[in-house]
Structure formats: C-alpha cells, structure tokens
C-alpha cells in the first residue's frame, strides 16, 4: 500500500530540506542527485494541471506525477499527440480524464533535479521517504515539488512530516497552477469561464460582458484550428460564437433593433465557414460507431466513404485555415473585439437598463413556459418538426440559465439544470441521427450524378446507414415524452416557479 502526497514548496524551504529535523527524524540522502531534461505536456485547456497532475517527457520516459499513485513512468515512444497514441502502460492508464479528442501539447521545457531523502529514526530505520524535485525552466523560473511517501505502519511519522511541510509553506499540488509559476505570462485557456454578473447590473452590461468574454475565447482557438492540432479547437470556437449569437437573439430589447440585426449578421458570417469542417470532424470521430452499425459485408463501401470524408476534411481544413488567416477575417473579428471591449458604441434598446436579475427571470420564465407548451403538444403522432422545435427551445433555455447562473442560488439552480441536460441528451441524439440522415441522403444524390463504379458500393453502404440511423432516430423519438416527464417533475416545476416567477422568489 503506497501512500504519497505532493506539495509545492517555497524554494528556500526546499533547499534547506536536507538539513531540517522532523521531530526525532533526521533526513539522510539516498542515492545520487540526478538531473534530466523535461518537456511538460498538457492539453490546451490544462486538463492535467486541473486534476493536480503533472506530465513530462524526458525524451526516454514519460512520467506522470499523480496525487494518488505517486510518480508513474513508461517509455516515451508514442505514435501521435493523443492519449490513444501512447503505448499501453501505467501513465496511459492514469490519463483517464484527458479527452481522447484532445492533443497533448508542450507547455514548456527545462531541467528536473531530483534528490531522494530518507527520514530515519534513532535506529536508522526509514519512517518516511521524501523525493524532492526541482523543476527549472530555460528562462530560469523554478518550482520545488516535494513528494512524501509513507511506509506501512508509520502513519504517525508521515502525518508529522506532512504537518511540518504544510507549516513551512508547502501547498498541496493542484492548488494554484505550477504553470503560472514556471511560465509567467502564459495565458491559460478556460472554455467556460464564470462570468460575474451582479443582480442589479444593467442587462446591457451583462450582455456586453458575456459577449466580451466569449469573443476572446473563440479567438484563442484560431491557432489550433489553423495548425489542425485537434478537433476540439474548432468545436470550442463554434460554441463560443454560438453563445454570442444566442445572447443576441435571446436578449431582445437590450440592444437597439438595427444594431441587433447587424450584429446577428456579422456573427452569423463568422460562423458559416466553419460548419463543413465540423460536420466532417464529427463523422470521422464516429467512424468506429458507424462501422459497428453495419454488417461486415457493407464495410468496404463504408471504408471508401470514410476515405472520401478524410479527403474532404483536408480540403475543408485548408479552406477554413486560409479563411482564418485572411486579412478580411482578421479585420472583422478585430473590430468586433474592440466593439465589445469598449462596449459603449452599441445602441441601447428599451430593456438596456433593466437589472440583470429581474431581466433574466423574465427571460428564463418565458422560455421555460414555451418549452412546456411545445412539450405538452407532443405525442406519438406529432411531426418531427415539433421535436426539433422543442430541442431548440431547450437549448435556448439552457444557454440563458448558464449565462445567468451566478445570479441565482447555486444548489437550486443545479437541481433543475441537471434534468434539463438529460432531456437535451435525448433530443440531441434525435437531432444528430436526423441531421446525419439528411447529409447522407444529400451525399447519395451527389453520388448518383457520377457513374463511377466504386460509387455504387459506397451508395449501398450509405443507403444501409440511412436505414439504421432512421431506426435509431425513431428509438430516440419514442423516448422524448418520457424524458420530458422526467425533466418536468413537480420539484422542477416548483423550482422554476420559485426562482423565476414568484414575487417572493426575488431576493
């Protein structure tokens, strides 16, 4: 049973460590001090650092410092930047939180100096082991990480040493970013930042700060899209733009009518060149699932289809990359950033000065009622069109709730957000199957226009796929009424009413 914990130590304490006394325990050095080069790795959104982990590559080994299992190692060889590209080993196994869609990118480089100490008692028996790692970057910034390893039966000694480390300024790994210390000025990326909106803040300011926050988030993803680092950059880029567009359409009356229309058009134009690449990314990410849907006899056609998708993706990626690099795009997006950074030039609408709390309650309540109205009209016979409408309204409701989340009591808010998310999962699948069928049908039409022989094989597979997707869509369709019932329980209804409608709900 290994028990380890890691702390960041002030540099002074770290250098004094070999001469410190820990109660009756004395440190003695075991083994030689070693020094190796490292390259720190993490995803663009710092998944590992967020989980209190540190991953580095020494050229020969890949090493992962984890709060639970101490230091894990495996050979550094890997076939690509994704976790799935690593050889099977303890490091790979402990990287569960990293999305398979996220590339591991270099955070920075430097040297690790490692010193090992044993804390021994009067009998020279080791009671606690200490591993001191000094990470120094090429720019000369340092961080000292001390790892305590307890030995079975010596819990008291470990607790005492831990106490002393904390008292001398040690901070548990994961609290505060090591990256910030090692790489000052490094801009960390957060896809979903908490936007502070005061209850009495004017709706106009709230809208400005939401858009003003998400625009730089969209922009932060541009480089990753251009370099084609991983597909999540484009995904995050689109989500940020979609949130901005939903502010424009949902916060009606905050900006002047003409200004709103004009902004809607401008953001819609930013969004539209991205759709094609995103669709192809989604197909390619689900390749295995598609193969699993069809019998092996139809796989050759499917393989050709995916080869075609891969080629098309290359084209779409180049096109989007060129677009993002273009002068016109840079000018336009720069202008928009300026506009919202200053936030004064946009014409105010009739609701501009309403307090955020009051305004958001009205918006959310209205949207919730709308969702309920549509859902009430859905039965087994209703047209799919209505289910799509329900999905869109749920999405709008979700965005509104997320924007204004900080204004409301957290626990109650979460209690209605969670069931909403589950309903949206159902509606989302329904929609995905539907959109994929449409796209594949359009593809069939295109294939029909050329008379190449291989196209026949592809067409057979696509035809079968459409049939399977149709069946899956029906399955999801059949769940909608039940999902809505689960979402709209009495508790949910009461919470919505209290938070967003009742007069005594105002705080």
Site residues, another protein (CB under 8 A): 1, 118, 123-126, 151-154
The DSSP output letter for 192 is: S
Name the minimum Å distance from CB 118 to another protein. 7
By beta-carbon proximity to another protein, the closer residue of 49 and 149 is: 149
Name the minimum Å distance from CB 21 to another protein. 19
Residue 7: strand pairing partners: 146, 172
Name the minimum Å distance from CB 120 to another protein. 9
* Residue from 444, 473, 471, 474 nearest 459 by CA: 444
Name the minimum Å distance from CB 73 to another protein. 15
User: To 10 degrees, what angle do helices 384-404 and 453-487 make?
Assistant: 60
| Tokens 């409408």 sit on residue | 389
CA dist 306 and 428 (Å) reads: 23
CA dist 405 and 97 (Å) reads: 25
Name the minimum Å distance from CB 29 to another protein. 14
| Tokens 């999962």 sit on residue | 425
Three-class SS string for 52-79?
Answer: CCEEEECCCEEEEEECCCEEEEEECCEC
Name the minimum Å distance from CB 121 to another protein. 8
By beta-carbon proximity to another protein, the closer residue of 120 and 481 is: 120
CA dist 446 and 303 (Å) reads: 18
CA dist 233 and 377 (Å) reads: 39
- Alpha carbon 292 to chain centroid, angstroms: 27
By beta-carbon proximity to another protein, the closer residue of 13 and 126 is: 126
CA dist 148 and 9 (Å) reads: 12
By beta-carbon proximity to another protein, the closer residue of 90 and 428 is: 90
The DSSP output letter for 152 is: T
Task: Supply φ then ψ for residue 450, to 5 degrees.
Answer: -100, 155
By beta-carbon proximity to another protein, the closer residue of 102 and 116 is: 116
Name the minimum Å distance from CB 15 to another protein. 26
Count helices and strands in the chain by DSSP H and E runs: 18, 10
Residue 54: strand pairing partners: 65
* Residue from 111, 171, 116, 168 nearest 141 by CA: 111
By beta-carbon proximity to another protein, the closer residue of 151 and 234 is: 151
Name the minimum Å distance from CB 14 to another protein. 24
By beta-carbon proximity to another protein, the closer residue of 92 and 129 is: 129
CA dist 142 and 140 (Å) reads: 6
Name the minimum Å distance from CB 124 to another protein. 6
By beta-carbon proximity to another protein, the closer residue of 78 and 162 is: 162
By beta-carbon proximity to another protein, the closer residue of 156 and 192 is: 156
The DSSP output letter for 127 is: E
* Residue from 124, 144, 107, 132 nearest 34 by CA: 132
Contact 304, 465 (CB under 8 A): no
The DSSP output letter for 347 is: P
Cα Rg of the chain (Å, integer):
28
Contact 192, 84 (CB under 8 A): no
Name the minimum Å distance from CB 88 to another protein. 20
By beta-carbon proximity to another protein, the closer residue of 153 and 185 is: 153
CA dist 278 and 235 (Å) reads: 7
Name the minimum Å distance from CB 18 to another protein. 18
CA dist 56 and 35 (Å) reads: 14
By beta-carbon proximity to another protein, the closer residue of 152 and 449 is: 152
| 410 token code pair | 């957290």
Name the minimum Å distance from CB 117 to another protein. 13
By beta-carbon proximity to another protein, the closer residue of 118 and 317 is: 118
By beta-carbon proximity to another protein, the closer residue of 149 and 360 is: 149
Three-class SS string for 470-493?
Answer: HHHHHHHHHHHHHHHHHHCCHHHH
Name the minimum Å distance from CB 189 to another protein. 40
């Amino acid at each position: 049973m290994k028990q380890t914990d890691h702390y960041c130590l002030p540099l002074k304490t770290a250098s004094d460590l070999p001469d410190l006394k820990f109660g009756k325990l004395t440190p003695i050095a075991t083994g030689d001090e070693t020094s190796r080069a490292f390259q720190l790795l993490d995803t663009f959104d710092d998944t590992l650092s967020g989980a209190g982990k540190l991953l580095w590559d020494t050229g020969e080994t890949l090493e992962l410092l984890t709060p639970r299992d101490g230091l894990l190692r495996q050979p550094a060889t890997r076939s690509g930047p994704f976790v799935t590209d690593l050889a099977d080993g303890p490091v790979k196994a402990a990287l569960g939180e990293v999305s398979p869609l996220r590339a591991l990118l270099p955070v920075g480089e430097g040297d690790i100096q490692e010193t090992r100490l044993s804390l021994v008692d009067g009998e020279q028996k080791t009671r606690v082991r200490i591993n001191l790692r000094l990470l120094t970057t090429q720019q000369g910034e340092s961080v000292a990480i001390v790892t305590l390893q307890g030995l079975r039966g010596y819990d008291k000694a470990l607790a005492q040493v831990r106490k002393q480390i904390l008292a001398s300024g040690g901070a548990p790994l994961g609290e505060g970013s090591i990256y910030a210390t090692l790489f000052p000025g490094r801009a960390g990326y957060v896809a979903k930042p908490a936007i502070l909106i005061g209850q009495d803040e004017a709706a106009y300011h709230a809208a400005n700060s939401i858009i003003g926050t998400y625009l730089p988030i969209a922009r932060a993803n541009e480089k990753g899209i251009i370099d084609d680092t991983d597909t999540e950059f484009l995904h995050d880029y689109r989500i940020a733009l979609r949130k901005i567009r939903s502010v424009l359409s949902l916060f009606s009356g905050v900006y002047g009518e003409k200004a709103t229309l004009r902004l809607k058009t401008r953001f819609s134009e930013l969004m539209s060149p991205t759709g094609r690449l995103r669709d192809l990314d989604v197909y390619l990410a689900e390749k295995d699932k598609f193969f699993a849907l069809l019998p092996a006899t139809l796989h050759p056609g499917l393989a050709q289809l995916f080869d075609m998708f891969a080629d098309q993706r290359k084209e779409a990626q180049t096109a989007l990359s060129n677009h993002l690099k273009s002068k016109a795009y840079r000018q336009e997006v720069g202008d928009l950033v300026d506009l919202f950074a200053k936030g004064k030039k946009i014409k105010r609408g009739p609701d501009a000065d309403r307090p955020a709390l009051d305004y958001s309650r009205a918006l959310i309540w209205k949207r919730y009622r709308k969702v309920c109205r549509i859902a009430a009209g859905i039965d087994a016979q209703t047209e799919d069109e209505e289910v799509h409408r329900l999905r869109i309204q749920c999405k709008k409701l979700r965005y509104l709730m997320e924007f204004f989340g900080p204004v409301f009591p957290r626990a109650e808010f979460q209690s209605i957000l969670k069931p909403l998310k589950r309903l949206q999962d159902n509606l989302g699948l329904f929609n995905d199957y539907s959109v994929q069928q449409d796209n594949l049908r359009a593809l069939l039409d295109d294939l029909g226009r050329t008379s190449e022989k291989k196209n026949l094989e592809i067409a057979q597979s696509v035809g079968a796929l459409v049939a399977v997707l149709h069946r899956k869509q029906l399955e999801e369709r059949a769940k909608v009424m039940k999902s809505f019932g689960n979402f709209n329980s009495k508790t949910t209804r009461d919470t919505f009413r209290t938070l967003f409608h009742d007069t005594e709900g105002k705080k």
